[in-house]
Structure 1
Amino acid sequence: MAEQNRAYHGVAGQVFAARADAPGLNSLHERPAVVSLIGDARGQEVADLGCGAGHLAAILSAAGAKVTGVEGSEVLAGVAREAAPMATIVHHDLDVPLGFLPDASQDGVVCALVIHHLSDRPRFLSEVRRILRPGGWFVLSSTHPTADWGYFGGSYFDERWVTRSFGEATMEYQLMTMSTLLNEVADAGFVLERLVEPQPVEALRMIDAEQFDKWSSAPIFVALRAHVAG
């Protein structure tokens, strides 16, 4: 798979940043669920892995967390630095080990809508486990396996790489079953605390009632919170 199609480089980064900022699937559907799962992070050191345009990094920083955002797209890293000036934003490929983050250095890690783009999820999850302190929390979101299955068709169990268009850009990611996602998290040494299949927040109804009804009828995202085992 070509790297440029998996990390929102160039035009893809610009399109993603605009869409993530506008009222819709990110801001009024997936992001509120992730923020709710994180809870109160004030005074904590948090790594936002795949920080995108910096929305979560900005929210967490404003709430009193010390945030290190990591983003593989140079375009999005630049946007994130402007959106979250109190956070430290690092341009780094998440398919490469996080050598700049020491062992047991983070109280929490958030990884929103990123893991399905990575070429070696078990290695990435082991890095998340390495940088977390004992008892540290991990909040993860991804596209919902059944939503992807409904869109692309074929066998639900065919965990193939697919390409999806949005606006002027295309993006590649790997399909996975729900059992694959949960078992990989468990195998990396995490204990599941909560799993949610988010629905859009009420504010979206006031902006676009048709989309609110559509997105309320079937899952589009899945999000979970886990902690370090032992």
Structure 2
Amino acid sequence: MPRDTAYHGALGDAFAAHAATGAYNAYIDRPAMLDLAGDVSGQRVLDLGCGAGLYAEALLERGAAVVGVEGSAELLAHAKERAGERAELRRHDLELPLDFAADASFDMVLCALVIHHLRDRAGLLAEVFRVLKPGGRFLVSTTHPAADWKHFGDSYFSESWVDLHVRDGVPPIHFQRMTVEALLGELLDAGFTLERLVEPRPVPELEAIDPEAFAKLSVRPSFLAVRLRRR
């Protein structure tokens, strides 16, 4: 299983700890994705790259039936601790076909902060299209190209694979940079229709907890999030 696809070992454990309360995950990406999800009561949802189970837990609380897949054994263990038997959780490499899922078997697929790690994105997008019901929703979030450009300091149009060092003693996060044009092009070419695109800001709850982070993250982009439909 490629080390650059899932967060293995110490990186998986570190990410699980950070994602629960960290500003980027807990106060920017997760609220934005759940807002895009809207009412999921009674729906069958596939959480691709479910990580530590935080999105799955929120979707379960909203009445969804959740299937979560994750390539990292460490993160899957955290997800099982969080969701228990309420969700169907399985270890699966997202570079491979979703052979456990039947055609048109999900109402919604959620892919939060995962797609930029994948080498065979076209393969995964074809699989998502296959397992979604006609009219089903596909939610995707990824790093904001402008944030990557500012951090790495080279061409905005770079599509290079990069390593983002987040903490001493923890392996870097490995991902491919994409422009907005490239991201949307791949999604539309896969047959999806774009419904909404957002550049999430931190939710107001962060200001009371960490006013400095709230002020900083309110004026610069972190992520892009989109909601699409299967034709």
TM-score after normalising by structure 1? 0.97
What is the identity, as a one-letter code, of the residue corresponding to 1:146?
A
Q: Could you say which residue in structure 2 is the equivalent of 1:142?
A: 142
Q: Deviations over 1:68-88 (max 9, x none)?
A: 001010100111011112111
Partner in structure 2 of residue 151 of structure 1: 151
For 1:95, the equivalent position in structure 2 comes to 95
Identity across matched positions, percent:
51
> C-alpha displacement at 1:22, in angstroms?
1.7
Q: Write the distance in 1 (CA, Å) between the matches of 2:179 and 2:10.
A: 30
Unaligned runs of 5+ in 2: none
CA contact (8 A) 1:137 1:226 kept: yes
Name 2:7's counterpart in structure 1: 8
Aligned to 1:209: 211
Q: How does 1:40-189 map to 2 (within 5 A)?
A: 40-85=39-84, 86-167=86-167, 168-189=170-191
Q: Distance in 2 between matches of 1:64 and 1:87?
A: 11
Question: Larger deviation: 160-169 or 114-123?
Answer: 160-169
Give structure 1 stretches of 5+ with no counterpart. Answer: none
CA distance in 2, matches of 1:104, 1:32: 27
> For each residue in 1:24-75, what CA deviation from the matched residue of structure 2 results, as whole angstroms up to 9, or x when unmatched?
1100111000000000101011000010000010111121111000101010
Q: Is the 8 A contact 2:125 2:190 kept in 1?
A: yes
Aligned equivalents of 2:22, 2:154: Cα separation in 1: 31
* Large movers: runs of 4+ above 4 Å: none
- In the alignment, the residues of structure 2 paired with residue 149 and residue 219 of structure 1 have an alpha-carbon distance, to the nearest angstrom, of 11
- The structural deviation recorded for 1:23 is 3.9
After superposition, where does 1:28-39 map in structure 2 within 5 Å? 28-39=27-38
Asked whether the 8 Å contact 1:49–1:110 carries over to 2, the reply is: yes
Contact 1:6 1:171 in 2 (8 A): no
Q: How far 1:3 moved relative to its partner? A: 2.1
CA contact (8 A) 2:48 2:70 kept: yes
Contact 1:69 1:89 in 2 (8 A): yes
Shift of 1:214: 0.5
Aligned length: 228
Partner amino acid, structure 1, of 2:219 = S
After superposition, residues 184-195 of structure 1 pair within 5 angstroms as: 184-195=186-197
